[in-house]
């Protein structure tokens, strides 16, 4: 009897520890990453701040985040200056100067295009999540799609009624790296999950999966209300085509 009580107590303690770990670990990692980022920005900005303007000169301790605030103000000020005619002329002169440097111009143009696409409100960001058979048949990989576009690739390789779509297949657990592929529209299985849910699925290596989103008509909705347990018996059918992908 004492062994059973001891085992039960150990099981409860283990469960309490795991619960506490699940609660504390994300908070600790988030705080560590945030603090590291603030310290990294401070280490870059603070050495260029004149001592008379730095609060560290007058206080007996360092003020964390002051360099980050200064960096944000400077970046905003530069953006304000670059938005007017004089600032735009200076930026264009600097870009023309960089355009004459053989190695630097390629790096600058690529980085500028990436940042403009990611940060612009009108950029063609990823809009859909899908699945493609990769690296072999019956093995499926998650991909992100931005929509159909008319490119030189489409002009030369498209088949009537079944165009090629550019997809990005991210790697696990780092979704910022991956492969760019062009796949036939008919070979893509569209998913209802959002881009954020797809990214969480990739980062967690499949451990954090989004809930199933079922699209139902009025009749199915009425049946579900009358028989709430019917859905648990009849799973939703999977979609095997990408015909619902809108044209952009």
pLDDT in tens, 43-52: 999 898 898 8
Query: pLDDT band for position 155 (50/70/90)?
Result: confident
Contact between 105 and 113 under an 8 Å Cβ cutoff? The reply is no
Cα–Cα distance for residue pair 209/201, rounded to 1 Å:
5
Rounded to 5 degrees, what are φ and ψ at 109? -65, -40
Contact between 124 and 147 under an 8 Å Cβ cutoff? The reply is yes
Residue 160 has pLDDT above 50, yes or no: yes
- The whole-number average pLDDT for the span 187-198 is 90
Q: Which two tokens stand for residue 83?
A: 């938005």
- The whole-number average pLDDT for the span 62-88 is 88
Name residue 143's beta-bridge partners: 130
- 42-51, 102-111, 114-123, range with the lowest pLDDT: 114-123
Q: What is the DSSP letter of 158?
A: -
Q: DSSP letter string over 213-237?
A: -----HHHHHHHHH-TTHHHHSPPP
- 3-7, 59-63, 92-96, range with the lowest pLDDT: 3-7
Cα–Cα distance for residue pair 175/199, rounded to 1 Å:
7
Cβ neighbour number for residue 178 with a 10 Å cutoff: 18
- Note the pLDDT tens digit of each residue in 82-97: 888 888 888 888 888 8
How confident is the model at residue 40, as a pLDDT? 92
Pick the residue with more confidence: 223 or 193? 193
- The whole-number average pLDDT for the span 40-60 is 89
Residue 133 has pLDDT above 60, yes or no: yes
How confident is the model at residue 120, as a pLDDT? 62
- The whole-number average pLDDT for the span 67-96 is 87
Q: Which two tokens stand for residue 223?
A: 């049946």
Pick the residue with more confidence: 211 or 226? 211
Q: Which two tokens stand for residue 74?
A: 């400077």
Instruction: Measure Cα distances from 150 to 146, 158, 207 in Å.
Output: 12, 10, 37
- The whole-number average pLDDT for the span 207-213 is 80
Query: pLDDT band for position 11 (50/70/90)?
Result: confident
Residue 113 has pLDDT above 60, yes or no: yes
User: pLDDT averaged over the chain?
Assistant: 80
Assign 139 to helix, strand or coil: coil
Assign 192 to helix, strand or coil: coil
Assign 19 to helix, strand or coil: helix
Enter the pTM of the model.
0.55
């Amino acid at each position: 009897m004492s062994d059973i009580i001891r085992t039960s107590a150990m099981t409860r303690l283990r469960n309490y520890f795991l619960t506490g770990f699940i609660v504390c670990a994300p908070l600790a990692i988030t705080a560590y990453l945030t603090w590291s980022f603030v310290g990294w920005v401070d280490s870059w900005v603070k050495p260029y701040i004149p001592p008379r303007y730095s609060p560290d000169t007058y206080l007996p301790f360092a003020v964390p985040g002051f360099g980050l605030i200064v960096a944000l103000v400077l970046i905003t000020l530069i953006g304000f200056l670059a938005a007017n005619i004089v600032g735009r002329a200076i930026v264009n002169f600097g870009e023309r100067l960089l355009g004459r440097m053989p190695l630097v111009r390629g790096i600058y143009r690529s980085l500028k295009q990436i940042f403009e696409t990611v940060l612009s409100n009108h950029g063609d960001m990823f809009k859909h999540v899908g699945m493609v058979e990769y690296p072999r048949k019956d093995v499926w990989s998650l991909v992100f799609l931005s929509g159909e576009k008319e490119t030189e690739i489409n002009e030369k390789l498209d088949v009537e009624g079944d165009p090629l779509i550019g997809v990005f297949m991210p790697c696990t657990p780092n979704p910022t790296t991956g492969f760019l592929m062009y796949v036939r529209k008919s070979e893509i299985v569209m998913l209802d999950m959002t881009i954020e849910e797809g990214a969480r699925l990739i980062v967690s290596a499949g451990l954090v999966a989004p809930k199933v989103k079922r699209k139902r008509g009025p009749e199915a909705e009425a049946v579900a209300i009358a028989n709430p347990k019917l859905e648990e018996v009849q799973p939703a059918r999977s979609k095997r085509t990408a015909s619902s992908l809108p044209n952009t």
